[in-house]
A and B are shown apart, each in its own frame.
Chain A
C-alpha cells in the first residue's frame, strides 16, 4: 500500500476502515466477502473501487455506509466511529454523515422528484435547506420536473434525482454502487460529470464502485479489490491503465480458481 491509503488519522480524513471483515452465511456455507480491509480516504477526493465480480465491492460499500454490519473491524466516518448498535442508531448515524447512490436508483415511487430529493432533509428535521434542494435539482437540469413521479422519468433523470437526494444533506461521504450501471453512455457521462463537480466544486467526498474503466478515469484514484482484499491502487488513473490492471486482476483470479478446482 502506498500514498493516501496509509495516511495517519487527521482532521482531513473523511472515511477510515480498519481491518473490516464480512462473512456471509452460517457454519456450512460461509463466504468471506471482505477479508480485513483497511483504508483511509481524505476529504474532497473522488475514489473509484474496482475489482472482478464477486470481489466484495458492494459489500465494502455497504459496510462502510452502515447499510450492513461488518463481522469484524471498525469504520470511522468523519472521525466518528460507526456504532454497532441497533438499526435505528445506525440509521441516525447514516442520516447525518452518509449519502448513497444505487445502481437501481431506489427512489420512492409515490413521492415526486422534489419530495424524493428533500426526504433526507425532512428525516433530519431540516426544513430550511429546502431551497438548496431545489437549487441542486435545477443545477442537474430537473428544474421543470420537480412535480413528476419517478415512473415518468428516464433512467438518467432518475439517477440525477438520486444524486440530488444524496447531496442535499451535505454528507461527509457519498457512496455510489455502479451508479452508471443501468444507464446509456451519454446519461452515464452526465452522472459522472455531476459526481466530479460535487467533489471538485463543492468539496464532497465520493466513493464509487464501477466496472467501467472510463468511469473510473473520472476519479482521482482507483482502489482495486480482489477476493475481499485490497489489491493495489492507481492515482490519476487513465482508462487504459485501469483496463490493464483489471486484466491482470482477472488473470490472477482465474488462475487461482483453476488451481483450486
Chain B
C-alpha cells in the first residue's frame, strides 16, 4: 500500500500541490504563533510580557488553528472527491475500500509531513516578525530572546498532521462508502439537498452568531473596546453558518434568477443555470471561501473603523493597548485573506478540472470556445454575487451590534468604500481564477479532452 501511495503521489503531483500549499501555510501559521510560547518560557522573561505572549499565541493562534483545520479539510475533501473515478477503478480491479482508504491516508500523511518540514523556516521568520511587532507596540519588553523550540514544532507538526489525517479519513469514508449510489442520486436530485448534520450545523452557527450579536448590543453596551471580544467573532460564526447553508442558497437564488439570466445571457447563461442548479452541493464548496472572506474581512475592518472613530470622537489618543488590538485585528484579517484566497483558488481550480470533460462535451455539441468562457464567467458572477451578499449579511452581524454598543447608533457613519474594496478583491479572485482555469481547458482540443 505504501508503495502504491507513493507512486500515486508522484503521478498526481499537480493535484497534491493545492493540499501541500494550504498545509504549508497552515503549519507555518500555527508554528509561528506557537513559537511565542517557546519565547515566553525563556529565562528572565518578565511575567507581564509572558502573559502578553501567551495571550497572543492562544487567542490569535487559536483562530489560526480553526482556519487551518477548515482549509486543510476542505481542500482534502475536494481532492479526494475528484478522485472518485480512480477509486471506482481500483475497486473494480479488486482493491477493498479499506485498502483504498489506507492509500489515501498514507498519501496524505506523506504530504502533511513534507508540508510540516517545509513550514519550519518560514514559521521561524514569521514568529520573529510577530515578536518584534509585539515589542514595537510595547506589549512585551524589548530584549526578550526569540525562541523556536518544542512548542512550535510539537504543536505545529501535531496540528497539521492530525488535521490532515482526520480530514483524509472523513473524506475517504464519505467517498468510498457511498460513491456509486450517491453520485447517481446527486445527479438526479440536483444535490442541493443537505444532510441533516449539515443543516443542524448551519442552524447552530447562525443561532450562535445571533445570540452573540444580541449580547454585544445589550450587555457590552458602554464597555468600550471590550465589546470587540464578542463582536469580533460574530461575523466568523455567521459566515460559517451561511457557508454551510450554501447548497440551499445556491439552489434558491439560481432558480429565482434563471429566467432573467437566460434572457440576457443566451445559451451560455442557460447552460450555467442548469449546471449550477444540478451541482449546487459541489459549488457550495467554492462559495464557502467567498462568504468567509467577505464576511470576516468586512466585519473586522468596519469594527476597527468604528473603534477608531469612537476613540477620536472622545478626544482620547489611542493607547498602546488599543494600538496592539488594531495590529492584532489586522493580523487576523491578513491571515484570513491569504487563507480564503488559497482556499478559493484551490476549490475553483478543482472545480474547473472536474468540469473539463463537461466543457469538452459542450464544445463537441457546438458550443464555441467563447461561449464556454462566458459560461464560466456567468458562473463566477453568480457565485461572487451570492458570496458578497451573504458576506455582507455576516459582516452586519458584527458591525451593527458593535456600533450600537460603542456609539448608540445602529449604523456607523462610515462609507461603503471598505466593503466595495473587499467585494472587488473577491470578484477578482473568483473570476480571475475561474477564467484562467477555463482558458487552459479551452486550449486542449475538445476531442482529446473528452476521450482522455
- A: which residues have CB within 8 A of B? 62, 67-68, 87-88, 91-92, 94-95, 100, 102, 104, 106-111, 115, 119-120, 122-124, 149, 151-152, 165
Contact = CB atoms under 8 A, between A and B. Distances in A.
Q: Which residue, A92, A107, A110, A119, has most C-beta atoms of chain B within 10 A? A: A110
A152 B186 CA distance: 11
6 contacts: A68-B445, A87-B369, A91-B366, A106-B450, A109-B187, A110-B279
Interface residues of B, number: 28
Interface stretch (B140-148, B315-323, B357-365): B357-365
Given A88-B368, A91-B366, A109-B187, 16 more contacts: A62-B447, A67-B364, A67-B446, A95-B366, A106-B361, A106-B365, A108-B362, A108-B365, A110-B278, A111-B271, A119-B365, A120-B366, A123-B366, A149-B188, A151-B184, A151-B187
Given A67-B447, A151-B184, A151-B188, A102 B364 contact: yes
A221 to B, nearest CB: 26
Nearest to B362: A108
Nearest to B448: A68
B358 A106 contact: no
Contacts of B188: 149, 151-152
B318 to A, nearest CB: 54
Q: What are the nearest 9 A-B pairs in CB distance?
A: A110-B278, A95-B366, A151-B187, A88-B368, A91-B368, A110-B275, A123-B366, A106-B361, A67-B447
Nearest to B446: A67
Contacts of B446: 67
B370 interface: yes
A120 B368 CA distance: 12
Contacts of A88: 368-370
B267 A122 contact: yes
A106 B275 CA distance: 16
Given A87-B369, A102-B364, A123 B274 contact: no
B368 A110 contact: no
B16 interface: no
Given A91-B368, A110-B358, A123 B279 contact: no
A100 B278 contact: no
B173 to A, nearest CB: 23
A96 to B, nearest CB: 9
Contact of B274 (A111, A124, A165): A111
Interface in B179-203: 183-184, 187-188
A105 B271 CA distance: 18
A17 to B, nearest CB: 18
A110 B271 CA distance: 9
Contacts of A110: 187, 274-275, 277-279, 358
B278 to A, nearest CB: 4
Contacts of A91: 363, 366-369
B367 A123 contact: yes
Contacts of B270: 122
Nearest to B450: A106
A152 B370 CA distance: 31
A62 to B, nearest CB: 6
Q: Which residue, A92, A94, A119, A152, has most C-beta atoms of chain B within 10 A? A: A119
A111 B276 CA distance: 11
A62 B447 CA distance: 8
A109 B183 CA distance: 11
A232 B363 CA distance: 34
A228 B59 CA distance: 71
A165 to B, nearest CB: 7
Q: Which residue, A67, A91, A104, has most C-beta atoms of chain B within 10 A? A: A91
A127 B204 CA distance: 47
A149 B277 CA distance: 13
A24 B368 CA distance: 24
B114 to A, nearest CB: 35
Nearest to A103: B451
A107 B364 contact: no
Contacts of A165: 365
Q: Which residue, A87, A107, A123, A165, has most C-beta atoms of chain B within 10 A? A: A123
B366 A152 contact: no
Contacts of A87: 363, 368-369
Interface in B200-224: none
A107 B367 contact: no
A107 B368 contact: no
Nearest to A166: B365
Contacts of B451: 104
A111 B367 CA distance: 14
A123 B187 CA distance: 24
Nearest to A107: B361
A25 to B, nearest CB: 13
A119 B446 CA distance: 17
Nearest to B360: A106
Interface in B365-417: 365-370
